[in-house]
């Protein structure tokens, strides 16, 4: 007989008391996060979002979104396999695949669900996943949900990846990496990774969320910049919420990969389709980028200028490979205070702290929007440098 000590159950209002303790622990560590509503006419200069090309409010993009909503309605009405696929979704997929040089594309409700789909549907217990140590949380979560063995590889180290692939016991392997890492904006060595994957018969999955619209010819993306567009062993995921100024995500790759995802990916099968307004906005932005390919180079130019001027002001600014620039802070509390001071001065910047940063170093993160003027860049640098906390400047 099991002897159970009788005890009264907790009161209904006490079952979540443990959350208060964890909230206090986060507060003591400087990791409290809060939501902040912003008005539609917010006068703050925004370098915190991911609107790399400045297209979110472009008239061609907002008109495309409005037209799509008026024609198709406010929502997709259901799963893409039931009622949620419109002619607009198909049009977006065809034009996105053509722009990036892929055989086919499949649109999802977010870049996050696109990554979960690719990682869970393209792997099984006979697969080894080799994932870069600095990969985005959506890739990490996809690895956790996959039924495969997962190896965390050193950051941007193709030789280490090759060593792992050479020693694997499983018949299949998938190497997973961001194309541009969202913390410091450094690019992955895609060409070298492709050499390693092909040498050992592995596939390559690239999350090009921060490369599409910024890297490659006319913004066609990091795989195109590396000469890998359309490769039969490459799968690319993208988001529509950054350079394309909308919402949603997509997987691009060989047609048989897209067919497999359509039939097996749970975040596709059981999720409501992307809203028509978002699909319309993304398609409008894509067409604008095709017509004005200089926007990609302008975003990179703004990033280089921001980095150079912040460095000249004595700050630890990253050297950008795309359109992300980070500035190191002395610690998480200092980073939060620095970002808050910048906002009060009229500048919105991102604030990255553990656990969002894999190296444990807190930062301000700046989006080098391609529509920034030189005057706006100068003002942003002035605000950041003038409000820098003690310990943020380079030694000496």
Instruction: Tell me the per-residue pLDDT of 2-23, one tens digit each, with 9 for 90 and over.
Output: 555 567 888 888 999 999 999 9
Alpha-carbon 161 to chain mean position: 22
pLDDT in the model for residue 34: 84
CB contact set of 260 (below 8 Å; sequence gap of 6+) = 121, 122
* pLDDT tens-place string over residues 242-274: 999 999 999 999 999 999 999 999 999 999 999
The C-alpha angle 126, 129, 135, rounded to 5 degrees, equals 160
* pLDDT tens-place string over residues 84-98: 999 999 999 999 999
* pLDDT tens-place string over residues 358-381: 778 899 999 999 999 999 999 999
User: Position of tokens 């910049």?
Assistant: 225
What distances in angstroms separate CA 73 from CA 59, 209, 275, one per listed residue? Answer: 20, 27, 8
Q: What is the mean pLDDT of residues 384-395?
A: 87
User: Position of tokens 């419109």?
Assistant: 86
Q: Is the peptide bond before 20 cis (omega within 30 degrees of 0)?
A: no
Q: Are 113 and 251 in contact (CB under 8 A)?
A: no
Distance of alpha carbon 96 from alpha carbon 282, whole angstroms? 9
* pLDDT tens-place string over residues 341-353: 999 999 999 998 8
- Which token pair is 380? 């942003």
> Does the reported pTM lie above 0.85?
yes
The fraction of the chain above a pLDDT of 90, given in percent, is 86
Confidence category of residue 396, pLDDT binned at 50, 70, 90 = very low
* pLDDT tens-place string over residues 106-144: 999 999 999 999 999 999 999 999 999 999 999 999 999
* pLDDT tens-place string over residues 270-306: 999 999 999 999 999 999 999 999 999 999 999 999 9
pLDDT in the model for residue 26: 87
Confidence category of residue 163, pLDDT binned at 50, 70, 90 = very high
Average pLDDT for the chain: 94
CB contact set of 146 (below 8 Å; sequence gap of 6+) = 119, 120, 123, 127, 129
């Amino acid at each position: 007989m099991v002897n159970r000590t009788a005890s009264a159950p907790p009161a209904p209002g006490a079952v979540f008391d443990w959350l208060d303790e964890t909230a206090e622990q986060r507060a003591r560590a400087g990791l409290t996060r809060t939501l902040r509503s912003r008005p539609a006419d917010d006068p703050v200069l925004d370098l915190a979002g991911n609107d790399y090309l400045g297209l979110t409010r472009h008239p061609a993009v907002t008109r495309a979104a409005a037209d799509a909503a008026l024609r198709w309605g406010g929502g997709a009405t259901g799963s893409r396999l039931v009622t949620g696929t419109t002619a607009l979704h198909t049009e977006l997929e065809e034009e996105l695949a053509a722009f990036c040089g892929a055989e086919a594309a499949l649109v999802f409700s977010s870049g996050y669900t696109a990554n979960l789909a690719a990682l869970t549907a393209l792997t099984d217990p006979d697969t080894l996943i080799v994932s870069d140590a600095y990969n985005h949380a959506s890739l990490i979560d996809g690895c956790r949900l996959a039924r495969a063995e997962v190896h965390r590889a050193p950051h941007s180290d193709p030789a280490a990846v090759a060593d792992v692939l050479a020693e694997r016991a499983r018949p299949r392997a998938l190497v997973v990496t961001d194309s541009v890492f969202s913390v410091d904006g450094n690019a992955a060595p895609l060409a070298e990774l492709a050499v390693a994957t092909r040498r050992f018969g592995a596939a390559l999955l690239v999350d090009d969320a921060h490369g599409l619209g910024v890297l490659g010819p006319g913004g066609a993306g990091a795989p195109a910049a590396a000469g890998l567009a359309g490769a039969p062993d490459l799968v690319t995921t993208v988001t529509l919420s950054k350079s394309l100024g909308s919402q949603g995500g997509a997987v691009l790759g060989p047609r048989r990969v897209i067919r497999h995802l359509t039939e097996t990916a749970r975040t596709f099968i059981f999720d409501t389709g992307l809203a028509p307004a978002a699909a319309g906005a993304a398609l409008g932005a894509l067409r604008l980028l095709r017509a004005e390919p200089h926007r990609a180079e302008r975003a990179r130019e703004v990033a280089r200028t921001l980095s150079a001027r912040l460095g000249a002001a004595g700050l630890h600014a990253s050297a950008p490979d795309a359109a992300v620039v980070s500035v190191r802070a002395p610690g998480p509390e200092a980073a939060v205070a620095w970002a808050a001071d910048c906002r009060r001065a009229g500048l919105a910047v991102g604030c990255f702290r553990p656990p969002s940063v894999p190296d444990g170093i807190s930062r301000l993160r700046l989006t080098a929007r391609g529509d920034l003027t030189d005057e706006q860049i100068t003002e942003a640098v002035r605000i950041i440098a003038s409000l820098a906390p003690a310990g943020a400047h380079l030694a000496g």
